Amino acid sequence: MIYMFIAEGFEEIEALCPLDLIRRAGLDIKTVGIGGEYVTGAHGITVKTDMTDAEYPCDTADMIFLPGGMPGTLNLAASNAVIGAIKKALDDGSYIAAICAAPSILGDMGILNGKKAVCYPGFEDRLTGAEVLNEKVVLDGKILTAKGMGAALDMGLRIVEIFRGADAAVALRHAVIAD
């Protein structure tokens, strides 16, 4: 199961674009609302999540996904459920994905030491110990980071590639983009 944590002020495209691609690929993903079932993004779009952080089962996850945005990233970082899920994912050897400002949470936790990573421009100093690259999406071991809203499609396709393989990601890309 993939769990996407969504907090007030999240960047809608960074959450909803990958969420859509992941579901189109037939992967199991649940959205987790921090502080409630309905969460409003940075641009006023309210989504109904699959569960609240109080209902989060603390299961072993295949991946924990953190969309960025402001103040969404700050609200994720302040959540005990999110920090606990990240720590459990690390202990279990699960994937952790973060986009935009959200990789700063991983940097602040010391998770990016010795890893290659990317983030929204201006947050690079928060990726403590990371080798910061100038790419849209970076996978280093089980840590997947992406630059921002413009990388949301690529990040979603990378997640599909991780769990379904390159052929599935290419097929999905062709299905959603008429190249």
Domain range list for the chain: 2-176
* Calpha distance 179→176 (Å, rounded): 9
Residue 176's pLDDT band (cuts 50, 70, 90): confident
pTM of structure: 0.96
Three-state secondary-structure class, residue 6: strand
Whether the CB-CB separation of 115 and 35 falls below 8 Å is answered with: no
* Calpha distance 90→42 (Å, rounded): 29
Tens of pLDDT, residue by residue over 9-31, are: 999 999 999 999 999 999 999 99
State the architecture of 2-176 in CATH terms: 3-Layer(aba) Sandwich (3.40)
* Calpha distance 5→82 (Å, rounded): 7
**179 beta partners:** none
Tens of pLDDT, residue by residue over 44-64, are: 999 999 999 999 998 889 999
Give yes or no for residue 86 having a pLDDT over 70.
Answer: yes
